Chains A and B, each alone.
Chain A
Amino acid sequence: MDLFPDIALGFGVAFTPVNLLFCFVGALLGTLIGVLPGIGPLGAIAMLLPITFQFAPVTALIMLAGIYYGAQYGGSTTSILVNLPGETSSVVTCLDGHQMARNGRGGAALAIAALGSFFAGSVATLLIAVASPPLAQLGTMFQAPDYFSLMVLGLVGAVVLAHGSVAKAVGMILLGLLLGLVGTDLNTGRQRYTFGIPELSDGIGFVTLAMGLFGVAQVLVNLEQHAMPRATAIVGSLWPSREELRRSVPATLRGTAIGSLLGVLPGGGAILASFAAYALEKKVSREPGRFGRGAAEGVAAPESANNAGAQTSFIPMLTLGIPSNALMALLVGAMSIFGVVPGPRIVEEQPQLFWGLVASMWIGNAMLLVINLPLIGLWVQLLRIPYRLLYPLILLLCCIGVYALNGSALEVGLMIGFGLLGYALLKLGFEPAPMLLGFVLGPLMEENLRRALAVSRGDASVFFARPISATLLALSLLLLLAVLLPKVGRIRGDAFRE
C-alpha cells in the first residue's frame, strides 16, 4: 500500500486556501452548534446544504464534515459548565465534568476534553486512511441478535455507571426502559402510551428528557442553596494539573479504542461509545469511588470515545455507501447531488476527494484545538456570572433548544415535567444517568430482540449460536458477576459473623 503518496495528495488538496478556509468555517460553526443545546449538527448541515451547491464537491464536503465533528467538540462545553447535555454522547461528560467545574476545575475539564478529542480525532482519521475496508466489514457482520446482545452488555454496564446503590440504579434503568416504550411500535404500528397526542407518536425526545433531568433539575436543586454566590466557588488554574494529566492519558487511549470500534456499527453502536468508555474507566480504576465526584479520567474517556466514534462513523459511508446514522444518510444525499458516489470504488475513482477529505479531517481537528483552547478562558468566565442571572439563562437555553427540535410547545412542557421528576429523583438519591441509558437502549434492545426472533422464526438459540452475540452475552454475564459478587461475598461474610 502506497500510503504516503496518497496522503500527500490529500494534504495537497486540503491545504489550498479555499479548502482551509471552509474547513475552518465548518469547524467553527460546528463548535457553536455544539455549544448551543438542541440545535444539532444534523439540522445545521441540512440548512447549509443548499448554499454549498455552488462550491466544488470536495470543498463542500470538507465544510459539512467539519460541522459534524466540530459539534462533538462543542457538545462538552455546556455539559461541563452548566450540566446541560445537548446530545446522547455528552450525558456521561456531565457526570464528572460538571463536578470538576463545581470543584473549580472547569478550565482543566474543558482542556482535557479538547486534548482528548484532538488525540482521538487524529487516531480515528488515521484509521480511516489505513483500515477503512476491514472496519467497514466489521460493521456489516452485525445482525439483530448481535445488536441485542450488545444492548444487554450496555445495560449491564449502566449499573456500573451509578456510584450509589445498585438497587436504585436498576430501578432507574427500568424507569428509562418504560419511558423508551412510548411511541409507535415499530413492528405493528400500534400506539403505546401516547394518549392520543400526535407529538408523542414518535416517542419522547432524548434532548427533552436529558435537558429536563439534568439542566432544569440541577437549577432547581441549586436554587435551594441560597448561600452559594455563583456556579462554582473558585475558578482555579485553567490548565490540567500533572496529576490530572497522568490520569487522563491512559483513559484517552482506552476511550479512543472503544470509540473507534463502536463508531463503525450503524444504529446504536455510536450511542454506546461514550457510556462504554466511562463504564470501562470506572471498572479498571483502583479508586472507583472518585467517579461522579470530578474524576479527570471520567471526562477524558467519554470525550475521546465520542470523538473517535464520530470520525469512524464515516467509514461505512465512505467505503460502502451505507450510512451509519441519519447524518451520514444526509451526507450520502449531498454527495449524490455533487455527482460523487460513495462506495468501494471511491478511492480509485475520486482519489482527490477521498484523500482530501481525510486530510482535512486531521487539519480540522487541529483547528478545533486552536479554536477551543483559547476559548476556555472565556467559557470559564461564564461561571463568574451570579446565579440570579445564570439560572434564567440556562432555563432559556433549555426552552429554546427543545423548541427548536420540532417547533412544539408541548415538548417544552414535557421538559419542565422531567425537570420536576429529576429534582424529586435527586432529592431521593436516584441518579438520572442510568435512566437515560435505559431510555436510549431499551427501544433498540426490544426492536432487535423481536427482529432476531422474527428472522429465526422464534428460535431463541440464535443468540448463543452466533459467535458475536455469544461473546457479548458472555461478557455481560462476567460483568454482572463482577458487580454482584463482592456484595454476595460481603453478605456471606456477615452471615458467618452472626
Chain B
Amino acid sequence: MRKTASMILAAAVGLLLAGTAMAQERWPSRTITIVGGFPTGAGTDIYSRMLAEPLGKALGVSVIVDNKSGAGGNVGSEFVARARPDGYTLYFGTAGTHAINVALYGKLPFDVIRNFTHVTILGDVPNIMIVNPKVMPNVNSCADLMKLAREKPGQHRFASTGNGASTHLAGAAFTKMTGLDIEHIPYRGTPPAMNAMMSGETQVMWHQSITVMGPIQQGVFKPLAVTTRAPIAALPDLPTVEKACGIPGFESTTWYGLFAPANLPDPILRRLNQEVVAIVSAPEFQKRLNDLGITPMWSTPEEFRRRNEADIEVWRKIVADVGAKLD
C-alpha cells in the first residue's frame, strides 16, 4: 500500500519535472493572458481582443484578455510589473499608462520603463477636434472657432472624458497654447461627454477617434482638425491642428503598445514581436484599425522603448503646463 503510494508520488514528481523542462524549452505551451488596464468595452479592450484571436492561432495556444481596470490603468500596470517574465502574462499598455500617468500621479509603485519589457507599439490614437453643427452653425474651421472664442471670452466650454484623460490634456494644451478662455468640463467617459456635445452644454471637444468616426461620417459632428502631426488615413482631408489652428508644433496623440514584465527571455521576445507585427501589418487588420480611427503601427522592441522614454518627457511638459495633477 505504502509502496504503491510512493510509486505514484515518484511518477507524479517525474511528470512534473518533465513538464517544467518542456515549458523551459518550448514556449508557448499554455494559455497566454493579455492584461488590460481599462474596463471592458474601452478602446484598449476592443483592440486587445482583436489581437488575441489571431495571436492565439499563430502561437497554437489560446490567448485570453483579462482587464484589471482602475486608477487610470495603474492597477493593471502594477499587476504586470510584478508578474513573472515567462511570456504568459502580457500587458496592453497605452501612452496613458506608460507616459501620462508618470507625470499625472505623484509616485507610482513601479517603474514604467525598468519594470517592463517593450514588445511592440500597436497603433496611434489621434484626437479629433469636433463641434456640433446644430449648436455652432457658423463654425466651419478651427479659425472660425478661435475667432468666436476670442470675441466672446468665457462663453465656450470643452468636454472631456475625465480629468487627466487624453481628451482633457489635448483641450487643455490647445487653450494653453492659444490663450483662449474655453472652460474644461469633465464627464465620466464617452457617452455623457458626447451627449453634452449634442445638447450644447459644451461646444467643442477633442475626442479620441474611436467611437467618434460614426457621428462624423453621418454629419452629427463636424470635424475641425486632428491632433496628429500628419493627416490620418481614416479622414485624409482633415487638416492637422498645427495647420488649421495655426499652432506650430501642436501634437497630442496617445499610442497603444504591447508589454511584458521586465527581463522577458530574448527568444520569447523575438518570437512575440515577430508574430504580433505580422498580424498588425496584415492589410485586413490594418483596414479594421483604420475604420476605428486607429493608425496601425509596429516597431522593434528598441524603437518602442525609445518612443516611450521620449514621450514621458513630452507628457511631463504638457501636464506641467496644463497644471493637471492626480494623487
Interface residues of A (CB under 8 A from B): 42-43, 45-47, 49-51, 53, 139-144, 184, 186-191, 198-199, 201-202, 266-267, 316, 320-330, 332-333, 335-337, 339, 341-346, 406-408, 447, 451, 454-455, 457
**Which residues of B have CB within 8 Å of A339?**
291
B66 shortest CB reach to chain A, Å: 6
Question: Are A333 and B292 closer than 8 Å at their CB atoms?
Answer: yes
Question: Are A454 and B185 closer than 8 Å at their CB atoms?
Answer: yes
**Which residues of A have CB within 8 Å of B235?**
none
Question: Are A140 and B39 closer than 8 Å at their CB atoms?
Answer: no
If A186-B162, A406-B67 touch, whether A140 touches B199 (CB-CB below 8 Å) is: yes
Docked pose: A45 CA to B40 CA in angstroms: 9
**Which residues of A have CB within 8 Å of B200?**
143
If A198-B70, A267-B188 touch, whether A343 touches B214 (CB-CB below 8 Å) is: yes
Docked pose: A47 CA to B326 CA in angstroms: 32
13 sample A-B contacts, Cβ–Cβ < 8 Å, listed by A number: A45-B41, A50-B50, A53-B288, A186-B187, A190-B326, A202-B71, A322-B195, A323-B191, A326-B189, A329-B190, A333-B210, A337-B292, A457-B154
**Which residues of B have CB within 8 Å of A408?**
68
A323 shortest CB reach to chain B, Å: 5
Question: Are A186 and B163 closer than 8 Å at their CB atoms?
Answer: yes
Q: Which residue of B lies closest to A190 (CB)?
A: B327
Total number of A-B contacts with CB less than 8 angstroms? 167
Q: Which residue of A lies closest to B217 (CB)?
A: A341
Tell me the count of chain B residues lying within 8 A, CB to CB, of chain A.
Answer: 59
Q: Which of B40, B78, B219, B293 has the most CB of A within 10 A?
A: B40
Q: Contacting B214 at CB < 8 Å: which of A45, A142, A336?
A: A336
**Which residues of A have CB within 8 Å of B75?**
198-199, 201, 406
Question: Are B199 and A198 closer than 8 Å at their CB atoms?
Answer: no
Question: Are A337 and B291 closer than 8 Å at their CB atoms?
Answer: yes
Question: Are B68 and A407 closer than 8 Å at their CB atoms?
Answer: yes
Q: Which of B46, B69, B154 has the most CB of A within 10 A?
A: B46
B180-223 vs A, Cβ < 8 Å mask (1 yes, 0 no): 00010111111110111011110000000011011101111000
Question: Are A328 and B198 closer than 8 Å at their CB atoms?
Answer: no
Q: Is B157 on the interface with A (CB-CB < 8 A)?
A: yes
If A266-B192, A343-B217, A345-B218 touch, whether A406 touches B68 (CB-CB below 8 Å) is: yes
Q: Contacting A143 at CB < 8 Å: which of B50, B183, B201?
A: B201
Question: Are A341 and B218 closer than 8 Å at their CB atoms?
Answer: yes
If A46-B40, A333-B46 touch, whether A328 touches B214 (CB-CB below 8 Å) is: no
If A189-B164, A198-B70 touch, whether A328 touches B201 (CB-CB below 8 Å) is: no
B168 shortest CB reach to chain A, Å: 10
Q: Is B324 on the interface with A (CB-CB < 8 A)?
A: yes
Question: Are A139 and B292 closer than 8 Å at their CB atoms?
Answer: no
Question: Are B211 and A333 closer than 8 Å at their CB atoms?
Answer: yes
Q: Which residue of B lies closest to A139 (CB)?
A: B195
**Which residues of B have CB within 8 Å of A51?**
53
If A186-B188, A190-B327, A322-B191 touch, whether A142 touches B199 (CB-CB below 8 Å) is: yes
Question: Are A46 and B220 closer than 8 Å at their CB atoms?
Answer: no
Question: Are A332 and B211 closer than 8 Å at their CB atoms?
Answer: yes
**Which residues of B have CB within 8 Å of A47?**
49, 65
If A191-B327, A329-B190 touch, whether A346 touches B218 (CB-CB below 8 Å) is: yes
Question: Are A344 and B218 closer than 8 Å at their CB atoms?
Answer: yes
Starting from the known contacts A266-B191, A336-B214, A408-B68, 10 additional A-B residue pairs (CB-CB under 8 Å) come to: A45-B41, A53-B288, A199-B70, A201-B75, A320-B220, A324-B195, A343-B214, A344-B219, A406-B70, A455-B201
Docked pose: A447 CA to B39 CA in angstroms: 21
Q: Which residue of B lies closest to A333 (CB)?
A: B46
Find residues 47-105 in chain B having any chain A CB closer than 8 Å to their own CB: 49-50, 52-53, 65-71, 74-75, 78, 104
Q: Contacting B191 at CB < 8 Å: which of A329, A406, A455?
A: A329
Q: Which residue of A lies closest to B284 (CB)?
A: A53
Q: Is B43 on the interface with A (CB-CB < 8 A)?
A: yes
B325 shortest CB reach to chain A, Å: 7
Q: Contacting A336 at CB < 8 Å: which of B45, B53, B291?
A: B291
Docked pose: A447 CA to B192 CA in angstroms: 11
By Cβ-Cβ distance, the 7 closest A-B pairs, closest first, are A343-B218, A330-B41, A189-B326, A140-B198, A189-B163, A321-B215, A321-B214
If A50-B53, A202-B70, A336-B292 touch, whether A267 touches B195 (CB-CB below 8 Å) is: yes
Docked pose: A141 CA to B135 CA in angstroms: 12
Q: Contacting A201 at CB < 8 Å: which of B68, B71, B192?
A: B71
A415 shortest CB reach to chain B, Å: 16
Docked pose: A457 CA to B181 CA in angstroms: 13
Docked pose: A103 CA to B159 CA in angstroms: 51
Question: Are A42 and B68 closer than 8 Å at their CB atoms?
Answer: no
**Which residues of B have CB within 8 Å of A45?**
41
**Which residues of B have CB within 8 Å of A325?**
191
Question: Are B41 and A143 closer than 8 Å at their CB atoms?
Answer: no
**Which residues of B have CB within 8 Å of A321?**
214-215, 218, 220
Docked pose: A61 CA to B47 CA in angstroms: 18
Question: Are B66 and A407 closer than 8 Å at their CB atoms?
Answer: yes
If A329-B190, A332-B211 touch, whether A454 touches B218 (CB-CB below 8 Å) is: no
Q: Which residue of A lies closest to B197 (CB)?
A: A322
A146 shortest CB reach to chain B, Å: 9
**Which residues of B have CB within 8 Å of A198?**
70-71, 74-75, 78
Question: Are A201 and B70 closer than 8 Å at their CB atoms?
Answer: yes
**Which residues of B have CB within 8 Å of A142?**
195, 199
Docked pose: A188 CA to B104 CA in angstroms: 12
Question: Are B185 and A455 closer than 8 Å at their CB atoms?
Answer: yes
**Which residues of A have CB within 8 Å of B326?**
184, 189-190
**Which residues of B have CB within 8 Å of A330?**
40-41, 46
